């Protein structure tokens, strides 16, 4: 079956790696995630990953607790590197060739991000994990995901979450909430649906980069999204 998106970027939040624990890394969860990634990688998708760090530290929350915001943001960026190394380790054990590239140089453990080198890795069938966010404080890993997706010319940005997509209301609070299969950028903005933070969303809208929000916990979903099946919510 043909692929709908031969080149895609998957954003995995830090929380998604923490599983039920909510904090830290749950390796069972990482393994399950890596398994799904391995399947689509084997299908020939040029997939790259951006990992968040919210399971370890979030700049905004830490600065509310009294830390300097810029320092806290750098701590958050370092947290994404920890998560990226965890993902790399598990993926490599499953036989997926990976490279971690960081926005902040730390050559003893990962390559610095160089766009052309990232493209080369992808052409060679390596899965690139982008870590360190954008390398700048006051940004999020959602913004980093969009930025890297645009740079490597991914056709879509996949936002793996633990809900099925975008709903008319919070499905955990409102039983009548309905899943919205498709939205335009404008509709998402007008109706105030939180797809990504504002700068990340704006960057997608300006550059017409579609976003698919879907449940990463349902095995096979990633595969289905990449084949173009209607899974979750597509914002385009
Ligand atoms: N961060 C940053 N610049 C970036 C990306 C991330 O300063 O370009 C910091 C920020 O403090 C953020 C933390 O890293 O709160 C973790 O990233 P994020 O909250 O986006 O992770 P996620 O919610 O996806 O787990």
| pLDDT tens digits for range 20-47 | 888 999 999 999 999 999 999 999 999 9
**CA gap 212, 226 in Å, rounded:** 10
How many residues does the structure list for the chain?
Answer: 236
Tell me which H or E stretch contains 46.
Answer: strand 46-51
The per-residue pLDDT for 112 is 98
The per-residue pLDDT for 197 is 92
Q: Among the atoms of ligand 1, which is closest to the Cα of residue 83? A: 25
CA-closest candidate to residue 215, choices 197, 232, 193: 232
Average pLDDT in the chain:
95
Phi–psi pair at 204, nearest 5 degrees: -65, -45
CA-closest candidate to residue 34, choices 230, 229, 219, 233: 219
Tell me which H or E stretch contains 99.
Answer: strand 98-102
3-state secondary structure of 157: strand
Q: Among the atoms of ligand 1, which is closest to the Cα of residue 15? A: 25
Q: Does the C-beta of 88 come closer than 6 Å to ligand 1?
A: no
CA angle 164, 145, 206 (to 5 degrees): 95
* 53-62, 132-141, 162-171, 183-192: the lowest-pLDDT one: 162-171
As given in the structure block, the two tokens for residue 174 are: 């409102």
The per-residue pLDDT for 193 is 93
Q: How many CB atoms lie within 10 A of CB 22?
A: 10
Q: Does the C-beta of 144 come closer than 6 Å to ligand 1?
A: yes
Tell me which H or E stretch contains 158.
Answer: strand 156-161
Question: Model confidence over 146-174: pLDDT tens digits?
Answer: 999 999 999 999 999 888 999 999 888 99
Phi–psi pair at 89, nearest 5 degrees: -60, -50
Q: Does the C-beta of 58 come closer than 6 Å to ligand 1?
A: yes
pLDDT band at 1 (very low <50, low <70, confident <90, very high): low
pLDDT band at 124 (very low <50, low <70, confident <90, very high): very high
pTM: 0.96
The per-residue pLDDT for 172 is 84
Q: Does the C-beta of 59 come closer than 6 Å to ligand 1?
A: yes
Average pLDDT over residues 211-226: 94
3-state secondary structure of 213: strand
Q: Is the pLDDT of residue 2 over 90?
A: no
Q: Does the C-beta of 165 come closer than 6 Å to ligand 1?
A: no
Average pLDDT over residues 11-25: 92
Average pLDDT over residues 116-132: 97
The per-residue pLDDT for 103 is 98
């Amino acid at each position: 079956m043909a692929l709908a998106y031969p080149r895609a970027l998957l954003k995995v939040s830090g929380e998604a790696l923490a599983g039920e624990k909510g904090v830290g890394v749950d390796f069972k969860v990482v393994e399950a995630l890596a398994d799904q990634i391995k399947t689509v990688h084997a299908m020939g998708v040029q997939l790259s990953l951006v990992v968040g760090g919210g399971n370890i530290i979030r700049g905004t929350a830490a600065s509310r607790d009294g830390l300097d915001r810029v320092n806290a943001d750098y701590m958050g960026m370092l947290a994404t590197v920890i998560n990226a190394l965890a993902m790399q380790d598990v993926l490599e054990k499953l036989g997926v060739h990976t490279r971690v590239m960081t926005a902040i140089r730390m050559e003893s453990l990962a390559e610095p991000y160089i766009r052309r080198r990232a493209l080369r890795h992808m052409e060679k069938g390596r899965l690139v994990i982008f870590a360190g966010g954008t390398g700048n404080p006051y940004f999020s890993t959602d913004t980093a995901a969009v930025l890297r997706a645009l740079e490597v010319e991914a056709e879509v940005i996949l936002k793996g979450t633990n809900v099925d997509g975008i709903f008319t209301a919070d499905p955990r609070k409102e039983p009548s909430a309905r899943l919205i299969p498709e939205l335009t950028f404008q509709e998402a903005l007008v109706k105030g649906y939180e797809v990504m933070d504002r700068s990340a969303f704006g960057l997608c809208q300006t550059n017409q980069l579609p976003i698919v929000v879907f449940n990463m916990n349902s095995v096979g979903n990633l595969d289905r999204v990449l084949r173009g099946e209607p899974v979750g919510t597509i914002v385009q």
